[in-house]
Amino acid sequence: MDPFDSNNTDRSNLPRNMIENRMFEEEPDVVDLAKDSTTFPTCQALDPDDVVYEPRSSRLLVRGLGENDLDEDDEECESSARLLGMSFMNRSAAHRSCSSPYTRSCARPSARTLTVCMLFLVIVASMTMVLYFLPGCTFTRSGCPKTNKTTPFEQVYPLSTNGEVFPWAQLRLPRSIRPLSYDLTLNPDLDNATFTGRTTISMSVLHNTKCIVLHSAYLNITKATFKLGDGEARDVTVLEYKAREQIAVQFTEVLRTGQACVLTLDYSANLSHTYDGFYNSSYTEEDGSKRVLAATQFEPLSARKAFPCFDAPDFKATFLIRIRRKPNHLSLSNMPKAKSTQLPNGLIEDEFEKTSVNMSTYLVAFIVANFTHISRNVSETQVSVYSVPEKWEHTEYALDTACKLLEFYNDFFEINYPLKKLDLVAIPDFLAGAMENWGLITFRETSLLVGKQSSPLEKQVVASVIAHELAHQWFGNLVTMRWWNDLWLNEGFATYMQYMSLQTVFPQLDIGNLFLAVRFRALDKDALNSSHAVSTEVNKPEQVEEMFDSVSYEKGASILLMLNASLPGDQQFRKGIIQYLKEFSGLNTDTSDLWNSLTQVEVSAQHPNVSDMMSSWTSQKGFPLVTVSRKGGQVTLTQEHFQLASDNAMQTSSLWNIPVTYVTDNCSVAPECRRTFYLKTKSATLKDLPESVKWLKLNYRNTGFYISHYEDEGWAALINALSNDVGVLTHEDRASLVHNMFALSRLGRVSFHQVLHLLKYMSNETHTSPVTEALLQLGVIYRLLDQRQEHRLVARMKSYILHQFGSLMDQQTWEEEHSVSKQELRSALLGMACSLNEEKCIKRAQALFKQYVESNGTSRIPGDLQQVVFTVAAQSNEDWATLLSMYARVTYDAEKRKMLRGLASTQDARLIVWILKAGLMGDVIQTQELPLVISTVCNGFTGYLFVWDFIQENWDNLIEKFPVGSFAIQTIIKSAASQFSTQAHLDQVQGFFYSLKERGSQMRTVQEALETIRLNQRWMEKNLATLTKWL
């Protein structure tokens, strides 16, 4: 949206920015391209919504690019500006057309004339400075001053690397050129970690233009040719603006609408040493030999690091890819291999079929490695799972899972997967959990490979990731968001379908508990003032990176669940998304397109318009708090913005269209008990509720994305009902009561005494989700108290937890358990018991570890207990060393990662320093695991301060390995800051990040971290006395 009123006829085009730039420094060169158009050809005129302005510190200011014609008002203002000496022209004759109106021929002036002119210029300069420093002054026909509320700063164009003006000044590319197809040839040299390439882009001209602007980053372009229509190819000069990773080719003639053209670029580059672009990696085989490979990770902004391209989601095209390799390697790409050719230099060139679909550049992928695979044909698609040779036996479960899910999605969406093959590849060195490249999905090894003896909980992790990435083949690949501001259309949908598909295809994995837990965490994140709307403005690369967070993923999935649960019948939601996929197949969309598709599906007259209802959930940050007050049979529901950092939440204007569900003591468990009321206003009344009803519980099974609060009598009635009969509510409802009560305590609406009062019923609780939620919340408080060195309260909290959950802890076994839900419950309870140094737990874990070591790994520790056992073992320096040696040898990745978390949980300061440095170096511990190491170390009393020092000392190294704003950086910052609760630490964190400036100070994650510290501090100040009294 244009923040300025483009239709305001009173505004002036006075170029104030021409005198704003370093007034008292050397006078900058300014090129008036509106007058000098022959030297600097134009690009397509800008959309008002896309205009972005360079900072005033630019050394070269250029105005008027793309605007050769001045209207009458413009000419008058231009003349006024010239009279005031405010339009300084470039003094170089090379930049001036011979026909320029500024060219004058005159006799040499006399000394008197020079004196008068100098005096005049001094007066003018003085007037200019006075006028400039009058805030908001704009020259208009009606005079000055007049507050300028509509006129933007004029466009400022940067310099390219060769010193010429770069003809574009925005993050997003111009819309004048559309790529149709790419022909890529890549020649990676794995031994020297370099590659060369040739990219040929066939394009269509959508609007008259004199330049082509596209993306390129860290590529050395050695040759460029251009061909227009059927003409001859000719050499062209490529300009580069590195700050925005853009290149441009300018022309003297106009490229006209409808013309076809081809741009060919030869280039060379280094393989990336980070985890994005075309990067090199290595792994060690069992015999100790080292293998190298090259793989890609392009989402969101890194395809440009492998080949020049229009690297934005809405520039879809087809791709034909050739890769040259050594005979002992194989190559993979999005499409099946069409042919292989032996080259004279001994290399083999693999050519892949041209993509049968248009796709965004971030979905392109290729790999050169020495992998092996297993395959199966499903629904006319060859599904394969690739891994390093020594781990091929861990691929069977992934193949079986992928085949079943592919069949499910083909049927559910009523659109078959469009490609001939689907490869799932386990990469030894991969930062993300997985990436949905069309036809070539890449994974971390821990996200794809499981052994035959793996626990159901480990299989649940792998199945979840596969289900997510396969869902992307429709949501994200087939239909793609138009820009990164609507990333949730990709990630929210894939997250929702991940859980929904597993509940249907693999009910034994009991995925419902996990989905419930992530919805709670999404609420926790979205309760912060530093959160953002699901669909929000994105104008900088780091803002693109930061969109990959729980709001886009889990909140996106949560509001889709809420919508589905509110629609009548069990097929309305499915009909709507099928219509959405079919209508926009191969295209780009925004959020309104989805809501419109769902609105078009026929629903009952009682249901509100989907677009009207759901726009309130995507266009504003946060979620509502719904408060219940009751007088007899009249129940009043009131909504307000649940915002932890706000002291006047009741006064905010945010409103949501909330499908409030509820049950009562008359009927509370079965689905038919649920009633729905649409709360669209600030307050509304539930009618026809019998006075005989003792209590009501909102948000049946926690399908709604809101928190519920009951006046004291309401809470008392619910707590009393649970005390008498745990089964009076579903386990999801019981867990949501626990979560909501803790959240309300942080908000200050209930006392911590009320929290403890609710938890009294826990001695009778047997289901996983209420217990794990309570343990998680209590664990957070325990660690904060421990790290504040509130020793007496720490001892009381420990006694309280062991007393409240001791009977449940004692009931847990240490043998193999096949129920996923029971594994989740057991690992949470025993993990808490051992972290509190409960004697029986510690002894049993130590015995299991000893047995495991002495058997040389043949005596298996149950998968869900491995983390508990390895963490206990790591508290002994001797066992820590043993665990480290085992970590270096073990090949099964899920077990290896649990060993690493155990190693990072040590409380020995020297070992903590060592493991942090090892994670950064990447030799013993892969750098991709550093965020996990940091988050684990932070949970310990000894480690969290070491981590904070480590982050400050190594910040530049961290952002070199992980992009600013990336999920890895988010994890590192939040892990460290969430442990602080004092003013001193707040000042330290704030001072450090503010000093970073463009190296990280503006990240949303930083604001979230500071807000979290303030909230921790506030909660502690309010509740320390209560804890002392009631624990």
**Residue 202, H or E segment:** strand 194-205
> What are the Cα distances from residue 292, in Å, to 285, 427, 431, 962, 1003?
11, 11, 17, 21, 35
Confidence of residue 26 (pLDDT cuts 50, 70, 90): very low
Question: 85 or 1008: whose pLDDT is higher?
Answer: 1008
CB of 523 closer than 8 Å to CB of 703? no
Kindly report each contact of residues 514-519 with a partner whose C-beta sits within 8 Å and lies 24 or more positions away, as own/partner.
Answer: 514/460, 514/464, 515/557, 515/561, 516/702, 516/732, 516/735, 516/769, 517/769, 517/772, 517/773, 518/550, 518/554, 518/557, 519/554, 519/557, 519/558, 519/561, 519/702, 519/705
pLDDT at site 32? 41
Cα distance between residue 376 and residue 364, in whole Å: 23
Give 698-712 pLDDT, tens digit per residue.
999 999 999 999 987
Q: Lowest-confidence range among 115-124, 310-319, 664-673, 865-874?
A: 115-124
Confidence of residue 651 (pLDDT cuts 50, 70, 90): low
Q: How far is CA 744 from the centre of its chain?
A: 28
Q: How far is CA 853 from the centre of its chain?
A: 40
Cα distance between residue 5 and residue 27, in whole Å: 32
pLDDT at site 111? 62
Is the pLDDT reported for residue 384 higher than 60?
A: yes
Cα distance between residue 47 and residue 340, in whole Å: 46
| Mean pLDDT for the stretch of residues 292-300 | 97
Give 951-969 pLDDT, tens digit per residue.
999 999 999 999 999 999 9
Is the pLDDT reported for residue 93 higher than 70?
A: no
| Mean pLDDT for the stretch of residues 418-435 | 95
Q: Which amino acid is at 775?
A: L
Is the pLDDT reported for residue 85 higher than 50?
A: no
Q: Which residue has the tokens 């419902």?
A: 512
* Lookup: tokens for 202: 């066939």
DSSP letter at 552 equals I
* Lookup: tokens for 407: 């069949």
Cα distance between residue 639 and residue 708, in whole Å: 9
Cα distance between residue 703 and residue 499, in whole Å: 13
Q: How far is CA 440 from the centre of its chain?
A: 21
| Mean pLDDT for the stretch of residues 298-309 | 98
Q: Which residue has the tokens 């043993």?
A: 882
Cα distance between residue 425 and residue 746, in whole Å: 44
Average pLDDT, the chain: 87
**Residue 699, H or E segment:** none
Question: 90 or 165: whose pLDDT is higher?
Answer: 165
Cβ count within 10 A of residue 134: 10
pLDDT at site 600? 87
Residue 68, classed as helix, strand or coil, is coil
Dihedral angle sign, alpha carbons of residues 684, 689, 693, 699: negative
Confidence of residue 602 (pLDDT cuts 50, 70, 90): low
Residue 896, classed as helix, strand or coil, is helix
Question: 649 or 706: whose pLDDT is higher?
Answer: 706
Cβ count within 10 A of residue 969: 25
Q: Which residues contact 673 (CB under 8 A, 6 or more apart)?
A: 663, 664, 667, 700
Residue 986, classed as helix, strand or coil, is helix
Is the pLDDT reported for residue 150 higher than 60?
A: no
| Mean pLDDT for the stretch of residues 90-116 | 46
Residues β-bridged to residue 62: 31
Is the pLDDT reported for residue 195 higher than 90?
A: yes
Cβ count within 10 A of residue 218: 16
Confidence of residue 103 (pLDDT cuts 50, 70, 90): very low
Indicate the length of the chain as a whole number: 1031
Instruction: Please confirm whether the linkage preceding 101 is cis (ω < 30° from 0).
Output: no
Q: Which residue has the tokens 């049950």?
A: 663
Dihedral angle sign, alpha carbons of residues 761, 762, 768, 771: positive
| Mean pLDDT for the stretch of residues 642-667 | 83
Cα distance between residue 731 and residue 774, in whole Å: 13
pLDDT at site 968? 94
Confidence of residue 608 (pLDDT cuts 50, 70, 90): confident
Is the pLDDT reported for residue 122 higher than 70?
A: no
- SS3 percent helix, strand, coil of the chain, rounded to 5, is 45, 20, 35
| Mean pLDDT for the stretch of residues 390-403 | 96
Q: Which residue has the tokens 């009561």?
A: 737
pLDDT at site 13? 36
| In the chain, % of residues over pLDDT 90 | 75
pLDDT at site 125? 65
Burial of 755 (0-12, 13-18, 19+ CB in 10 A): buried
Give 709-720 pLDDT, tens digit per residue.
998 799 999 999
| Mean pLDDT for the stretch of residues 981-997 | 94
DSSP letter at 507 equals G
Is the pLDDT reported for residue 558 higher than 80?
A: yes
Of 589, 534, 590, 527, residue with least CA distance to 559: 534
Q: Which amino acid is at 166?
A: F
Cα distance between residue 823 and residue 812, in whole Å: 10
Is the pLDDT reported for residue 84 higher than 60?
A: no
Confidence of residue 128 (pLDDT cuts 50, 70, 90): low
Burial of 205 (0-12, 13-18, 19+ CB in 10 A): buried
Confidence of residue 126 (pLDDT cuts 50, 70, 90): low
> What are the Cα distances from residue 212, in Å, to 216, 263, 541?
13, 9, 21
* Lookup: tokens for 307: 């080949």
pLDDT at site 900? 97
Query: Backbone phi, then psi, for 878, in 5-degree steps?
Result: -65, -50
CB of 575 closer than 8 Å to CB of 601? yes
- In degrees, rounded to 5, the angle at the alpha carbon of residue 875 between the alpha carbons of residues 872 and 876 is 110
Is the pLDDT reported for residue 882 higher than 90?
A: yes
| In the chain, % of residues over pLDDT 70 | 84
Question: 30 or 475: whose pLDDT is higher?
Answer: 475
CB of 820 closer than 8 Å to CB of 841? no
Residue 74, classed as helix, strand or coil, is helix
Is the pLDDT reported for residue 946 higher than 70?
A: yes
| Mean pLDDT for the stretch of residues 102-131 | 58
Cα distance between residue 874 and residue 869, in whole Å: 9
pLDDT at site 124? 62
Residue 1006, classed as helix, strand or coil, is helix
pLDDT at site 928? 93
Catalytic site positions: 469
Of 155, 153, 152, residue with least CA distance to 43: 155
Confidence of residue 803 (pLDDT cuts 50, 70, 90): very high
Confidence of residue 289 (pLDDT cuts 50, 70, 90): confident
Is the pLDDT reported for residue 66 higher than 50?
A: no
* Lookup: tokens for 605: 């007259």
Please, what is the angle between helix 909-921 and helix 893-904, to 10°? 140
Cβ count within 10 A of residue 144: 14
CB of 962 closer than 8 Å to CB of 996? no
Cβ count within 10 A of residue 121: 11
pLDDT at site 891? 84
| Mean pLDDT for the stretch of residues 432-445 | 96
Is the pLDDT reported for residue 371 higher than 80?
A: yes
Is the pLDDT reported for residue 45 higher than 90?
A: no
